[in-house]
Amino acid sequence: MSKSDNRIQSMIEAFRERFQAMPAAMAVGPGRVNLIGEHTDYNDGYVLPVALKRDVRVIFRPRTDRRVRLYSVEYDGWYEFDLDGMAYNSDILWSNYVQGVAWALQEAGLQLTGMDAVISGNVPKGSGLSSSAALEIATAHAFIHGSQQEHKLSGPQVAQAAQRAENAFVGVNCGIMDQFISMLGQENHALLIDCRSLDYQLIPFPEAAALVIGNTKASRSLAGSAYNQRRQECEAGVARLQTVLPGIQALRDVSSEQLEAHKDLLEPVVYRRCRHVVGENERVLQTVAALQRGDLAEVGRFMNISHDSLRTDYEVSSDALNVMVDAMRSAPGCYGARLTGAGFGGCAVALMEPGAEQGVADIIYDKYPKVTNIWPEVYTTRASSGAYTQVLTGDE
């Protein structure tokens, strides 16, 4: 029996124990890692994430009333609410993601029914791999399937509802990337997302290429305030550049050549922030072209440049992330490595030759703790499929 089968079985047993019944189905929402395109989303730019083999799962049974009863395996906790009486709970934070999704789906016009559900995930929390979006998308699939509302919303519309849940109900100002890739990812593909138009394109990702993720396990205490500051600096850059480039709406509309021609208009710090975003948008499209050619060495080179830009121009890396990336780059078979996510902690990702995964893991476990005094976690993944719902027959 595979690890995945073991997870399903243990969740079914948990459901039977808590609800004295058999579940009807399982909804799965994967986490994600962003290959390249960091801090471009709120500048109307491009991102290139892949779905992970790690996911959040909701095993559930529809109810005939409007009651929702939840049990979280990881938190060993219960939460119940009514679909006609949802309210933010400051004590049981995980419940707000489920409530928020139900609220957003109903706001989008879906007629939901209640459910009994067990929730469990193996996407590390607070690591920049988007466990929140994985929970939102799995929850959305469960509500939609259990309420027989399939085909009422498109995949992008479900992703947007999940984003609205996190923005308006949970109160986290996230972009659309995480929910989009969790919903729309496909096996052995990355997803190029235009964060302005929400157009997206599946980009073939070599099946042989491996992604190794190093979790620094370091605190991300600066991430919130610095994130808001970076957004303000980008907006200040756009406002100044609009005086000579009146057609632009966001940094996405600025080329590297235009930025260099008008750099004297910008404060030095604002210029560096803009240089990262403008260059990063260009790197995403260059990376897509390299993937389409099958040129993994070039993909790795762009990943390296991206990290160096995030470290020096955008200043969102950290000592722990830099140590992790340096360890990855020193491993035989590493094409390139970079931080992934907002920064200041969390994870880095390396693109590896086939068969080199254990070697880079060994180097990380050797080098990283000696410098940081923190024991990391290392995960190997390939580009995985997006969310799905599986009917449970009793044969799992």
- 354-368 burial string, b = 16+ CB within 10 Å, else e? eebbebbbebbbebb
Ramachandran angles phi, psi of 81, nearest 5°: -155, 165
Neighbours of 144 (CB within 10 A): 22
Alpha helices in the chain (DSSP H): 3-19, 94-107, 131-146, 155-164, 177-184, 223-241, 256-261, 268-293, 296-312, 319-329, 357-372
As beta bridge partners, residue 32 has 51
Extract the tokens encoding 108.
């989008």
Q: Exposed/middle/buried for 111, CB within 10 Å: 0-12, 13-18, 19+?
A: exposed
Cα-Cα-Cα-Cα torsion 123, 163, 317, 277, nearest 10 degrees, comes to: 140
The tally of CA atoms less than 13 A away on the side-chain side of residue 283 is 26
For residue 146, the SS3 value is helix
Task: Indicate which residue of 41, 55, 116, 178 is catalytic.
Answer: 178
Active site residue 178: yes
Extract the tokens encoding 373.
């005094």
Task: Output Rg (C-alpha) for the chain, integer angstroms.
Answer: 21
Q: Exposed/middle/buried for 347, CB within 10 Å: 0-12, 13-18, 19+?
A: buried
Neighbours of 154 (CB within 10 A): 11
Angle at 338 between CA 336 and CA 343, to 5 degrees: 180
Write out the catalytic residue numbers: 178
